[in-house]
Structure 1
Amino acid sequence: MAEASGATIELEQLTKRYPGSAEPAVDGVSMEIGAGETVIFVGPSGCGKSTTLKMINRLIEPTSGRIRIGGEDVTHMDPVKLRRKIGYAIQSSGLFPHMTVAENIALVPRMVGWSRARVRDRVEEMLDLVGLDPREFRGRYPRQLSGGQQQRVGVARALAADPPVLLMDEPFGAVDPITRDHLQDELIRLQHELHKTIVFVTHDFDEAIKLGDRIAVLRERSHIAQFDTPEAILTNPADDFVSGFVGAGAALKRLNLTRVRDVGVADFPTVRLDDPLQSIFDRLREATTTNELLLLDRRGRPYKWLRRGDLMRAKGSLARAGTLVGDTVTRDATLRDALEAVLTDSSGRVAVTGRRGEFTGVVDMETLLNSVHELLEEDRLAALEHRHDLEELRAPQTRAEQEGADHEPGERA
C-alpha cells in the first residue's frame, strides 16, 4: 500500500493561557514546517515545548491562534477526528496493557472503519516496518516486551492509519542509552522510507542534532530563540542562550550530522555458528589479511569476534571461544554512535547491521578518526574565513578612525 507523504504545518500566533496564571504557558508561537520535514523542539524544562506540540493535535486546546495542516484550518475541527489523522507517540510507548501488540496497532485503523482484512495486513506491515517479526510479536502483551520493543510498537501504532503528520513527545526518554541510539536510528530509517512530517520534542540537544532537519530552540513560553538547521545552529548560534544548548565541543557534536552510510563500510570475513568447527578453524589459520573472523549466529547477526588461538585455548568449543560482540550500529547511526561503540569494544571496529540485526559490514577506528580530522579541519577553515570577514568589515571603520586621528584638535575634517 502506498504511504501518504507528509503535510505542511503552519502555526499562527498560537497561545495558551491557563486560568490563574499571570503569564501564558505558550505565547504567540508562529512557524511553518514543510511537508516531510523533521522538526525538533528543544528547550529547558517548563518552556512550553510539550504544550506547543499537544496544541497541534488539540490534546491541549489553544487559547488563541490558528493551526493549519496541509493548508486546512484545523483550529475548530472536531478534535477526535483531527487526532485520528495525526500519529502520536509518547514516552514509555503508552500502549494499552490489556491489548495485544496487534490490537494496539489496529486501534485507530478500526476506529476509522478499515476492513478486517485491511487491518490485519496493516498490522503485519507495520510490525515488519519497525523490525519486529509479526509471527513472534503480534500476539504478545506489552508486559512481555522490552522497553525498546514497546517503543517500536508505539511508533507502529502511531503510523498504523497512515497519517501525514507524526507528533513525538520525548518518545525515547525512558529507555537505556544503547536502546535509545538504536531507536533513533530506526526513526531515521523509517523517515527515509515514509517521508512523514514529524514534530519531535526532546530536552537532549544531541538527539535534536541527530534527528532534526531543523531545530527550534525555545525559550520560556515557547519563544523561538533560533529555528534553523543543526549545522547552522552548531556553527552560528544566534545568542548566548542558544550557545548554552550547543555546549562545549561543537566540532565533535557535528559527528551527529554524518551517518555511517556516508563513510566506508568495509567487508569483513565471517563464519556462522552452524558451520563445521574444522572449517572455522581452517579459515582462521589460512586468513592472510586478518587474524580475526566475525562469528554470526544462525540469523546472520554478529555474535563473537574469533581470533587465532581462540579455538585452541577453548579446546575447540565455540561456547568458550572468542569475545562477544559488545555493540553494533546501523547504517543510519551517526559517526558519534560508531565512535562510542568502537571505543567500548576492544576489537578496534564496530559491526554494522541491517534492519533485522543482520551483519552488513564493519567501520573501523581509522575511518572514524579520518572523518573527525576532516570535520575539525573544516571548522578550522571556517573560523579563519569568519575572522577574515570580520577584519574586512572592521577595515573601513579603522581607516576612518585613523584619518580622524591625523587631524589636529579643532581642525575641520
Structure 2
Amino acid sequence: MAETTTTAHGASIELENLTKRYPGSAQPAVDDVSMEIKAGETVVFVGPSGCGKSTTLKMINRLIEPTGGRIRIGGEDVTDIDPVKLRRKVGYAIQSAGLFPHMTVAQNIALVPRMVGWPKKRIKDRVEELLDLVGLDPGEFHGRYPRQLSGGQQQRVGVARALAADPPVLLMDEPFGAVDPITRDHLQDELIRLQHELHKTIVFVTHDFDEAIKLGDRIAVLRERSHIAQFDTPEAILTNPADDFVSGFVGAGAALKRLNLTRVRDVEMRDYPTVTVDTPLQQIFGHLRSSGTNEILLLDRRRRPYKWLRRGDLMRAKGSLARAGTLVHDTVTRDGTLRDALEAVLTDNAGRVAVTGRRGEYIGVVDMETLMNSVHELLEADRLEAMEAQHELEETRAEQTHREQEGPGGVTKA
C-alpha cells in the first residue's frame, strides 16, 4: 500500500449576507444567509424541496455565482478569486457520483491532482491511498470503468475523487440519494469513519432528516429562500425544536430518532464464541460445549461473519460445514447507529447482529437486550428533561406572578 501522506484538516467557512437572485424572479432564490461553520465540522442543510439548500451549497464553491454577500474559507475572502482555482481547493461530491464514463476509476480520482500539476508518482500513490481509504481494493478497482461498478462503489469513488487534492472543505449535494437504503446506510457509516480520520469541514445537503441527525455535528433547518429556521446540534433540535416548522421535520418519535445519535461502538458488545472455516469439526463441537451456548459464529478466512452455527445444525448436516448453519445476511459497522442495529436485530430471528470493523472483520455482537436498555435510557433522559423544563416554566410563572403582585418599590399590592 502507498505511504499515507500528511492530511490537511478542515477550514472554517463564513457566509455573510449571501444572496442569489435569478433574472425574472420576483423573490430571491437565497435571501441574505449568514452562517459560520467551524473547521473540521460536519454541517447538514436540510429543508423542503426548492428551499434553496443546494443553491446555497453551490455558492460556496461558486458553481453558482452569488448576487450579493461574501464567502470566506479559512478566513480568506473567496468571493472575488478565480472560481476555477477555488473549485480545485474545495472537494465536491454529488448524487450518482458524476464520474466520467470514459475514464477509469484511477483516472477519475487523479483528475484534479493532474490539473494542479502533481508529479505522476505522487498522483499514483494518492489514488492508491484513497481507494484504500474508501474501502475499495486498489488492485481490483484501479483499472475499472464506472459502468463496471455498483451504485455504492461509484459513490465511494466519487468521494475519493472529491478528496483527491486533499482539500480542507468537502461539499456533498445529496450524494447518497440515488442508492438503495442498505447501501445508503453503509455509505453513511463510511463517511462517518472517514471524517473521524480526516477532520475535513463537510457541508452536506439532504432532504432526509434522519440522515441529517446521523451525520451532522450541527444541522441547519432551512425554510424557503434558505432562511435559517434553526441551526443547532441534532440533540438540541430533537429535544427543543425552535417552532412548528422545525417540529414538522423532527416528526413523531423523537426519542427513537435519538437512536441515530448513539453509535454501536458506544454500547457494550457481547464477545460471541467464534471459529473459522478452517477450524476442525471436533474443535467446533468442543467450542460449543465449553462456551455454554447453543450457538457459535463461523468466520471466513478474512475473519468476516459467515454463518451462525447451532449444535443441531451440525448434527443434522452430518458434520459438513457446507450444509450447516444459517448465512449471516446482515451486519452493522462500529460506526453504525443504534437505529441501524435495531433494524437489523428486528429482522433477525434470534434477535442479534454481528458488528464489523473497517474491513468487514468481526468485532462483537449486539443483541435486543442491549438495544432495549439503550432505548429505555433515552426515554428516561427525555422524561427527566421534560420534567426539568416543566419545573423551570412553573418557577418562571411564579416569579412573574410575584412581580405582578408587587407595586413600585417592591410593595405588595392590596
TM-score with structure 1 length normalisation?
0.95
Does residue 1:130 correspond to 2:134, yes or no? yes
How far residue 132 of structure 1 moved from its aligned partner, in angstroms, is 1.0
Does residue 1:394 correspond to 2:390, yes or no? no
- Whole-angstrom CA distance in 1 between matches of 2:112 and 2:272: 44
Tell me the residue number matched to 1:192. Answer: 196
Tell me the residue number matched to 1:318. Answer: 321
Q: Secondary structure at the match of 1:67?
A: strand
> Contact (CA 8 Å) 1:6, 1:165: kept in 2 or not?
yes
Question: How many residues are aligned here?
Answer: 405
How far residue 398 of structure 1 moved from its aligned partner, in angstroms, is 3.9
> Contact (CA 8 Å) 1:326, 1:345: kept in 2 or not?
no
- Whole-angstrom CA distance in 2 between matches of 1:214 and 1:38: 7
Q: Which residues of 2 match residues 357-372 of structure 1 at below 5 A?
A: 357-372=360-375
Tell me the residue number matched to 1:375. Answer: 378
Does residue 1:109 correspond to 2:116, yes or no? no
How far residue 274 of structure 1 moved from its aligned partner, in angstroms, is 2.7
Tell me the residue number matched to 1:301. Answer: 304
Displaced runs of 4 or more, over 6 A: 400-404
- Whole-angstrom CA distance in 2 between matches of 1:287 and 1:132: 38
State the AA in 1 paired with 2:243. Answer: D
State the AA in 2 paired with 1:110. Answer: R
State the AA in 1 paired with 2:267. Answer: V
Q: Which residues of 2 match residues 265-276 of structure 1 at below 5 A?
A: 265-276=269-280
Q: Secondary structure at the match of 1:309?
A: helix
Q: Secondary structure at the match of 2:49?
A: coil
Structure 1: gaps (5+ residues): 405-411
Deviations 1:193-233 (A, max 9, x none): 10000000000001100100000000000000000000000
- Whole-angstrom CA distance in 1 between matches of 2:32 and 2:146: 39
Deviations 1:113-165 (A, max 9, x none): 11000000001100111111111111111111111111111111100100000
State the AA in 2 paired with 1:290. Answer: T
> Contact (CA 8 Å) 2:264, 2:335: kept in 1 or not?
yes
State the AA in 2 paired with 1:150. Answer: Q
Tell me the residue number matched to 1:224. Answer: 228
How far residue 112 of structure 1 moved from its aligned partner, in angstroms, is 0.7
Tell me the residue number matched to 1:48. Answer: 52
TM-score with structure 2 length normalisation?
0.95
State the AA in 2 paired with 1:127. Answer: L
Deviations 1:168-193 (A, max 9, x none): 00011111111111111111111111
RMSD, aligned CA: 1.4
Which of 71, 78, 96 matches 1:74? 78
State the AA in 1 paired with 2:368. Answer: M
Structure 2: gaps (5+ residues): 408-412
How far residue 266 of structure 1 moved from its aligned partner, in angstroms, is 2.5
- Whole-angstrom CA distance in 1 between matches of 2:230 and 2:403: 35
Q: Secondary structure at the match of 1:287?
A: helix
Q: Which residues of 2 match residues 21-32 of structure 1 at below 5 A?
A: 21-32=25-36
Does residue 1:344 correspond to 2:347, yes or no? yes
How far residue 296 of structure 1 moved from its aligned partner, in angstroms, is 1.1
Q: Which residues of 2 match residues 137-176 of structure 1 at below 5 A?
A: 137-176=141-180
> Contact (CA 8 Å) 1:26, 1:48: kept in 2 or not?
yes
> Contact (CA 8 Å) 2:273, 2:287: kept in 1 or not?
no
State the AA in 1 paired with 2:216. Answer: G
> Contact (CA 8 Å) 2:273, 2:291: kept in 1 or not?
no
Give aligned-pair identity as a percent: 86
> Contact (CA 8 Å) 2:112, 2:165: kept in 1 or not?
yes
> Contact (CA 8 Å) 2:260, 2:338: kept in 1 or not?
yes
Tell me the residue number matched to 2:14. Answer: 10
Q: Secondary structure at the match of 2:184?
A: helix
